[in-house]
Amino acid sequence: LMLFEKQFLTGQLSQYHGNVTAAAKASGMTRQNYQRLMKKHNLSAGRFRACRCGHEHPSFQRPSRLKFLAGLPSSCQFAQAEV
């Protein structure tokens, strides 16, 4: 059951590009319950998000955010935001 839950959440978050509200609604759950399951499985919506340039971006938390942004091409909207 644990593996199924995690795979289901991962699939939904991927399909909805990290939009928790949309993923929860499509799953027939409340956002709060969906987030509880995400926490239970140590999932962050940030790792499923992508910017317009197509780069997937992890959670926007420091210090990993700065390390990640340093590796992005200058054309990426998130890399430009830090300049």
Note the pTM of the prediction, 2 decimals.
0.62
**In this predicted model, what pLDDT tens digit does every residue of 57-73 receive, in sequence order?**
554 444 455 545 555 55
Q: Is 17 left (phi over 0), alpha (psi -120 to 50) or beta?
A: left
The tokens for 17 are: 């590009």
**In this predicted model, what pLDDT tens digit does every residue of 34-61 receive, in sequence order?**
999 999 999 998 888 766 555 555 544 4
Taking CA atoms, 17 is separated from 14, 21, 82, in Å, by 5, 11, 22
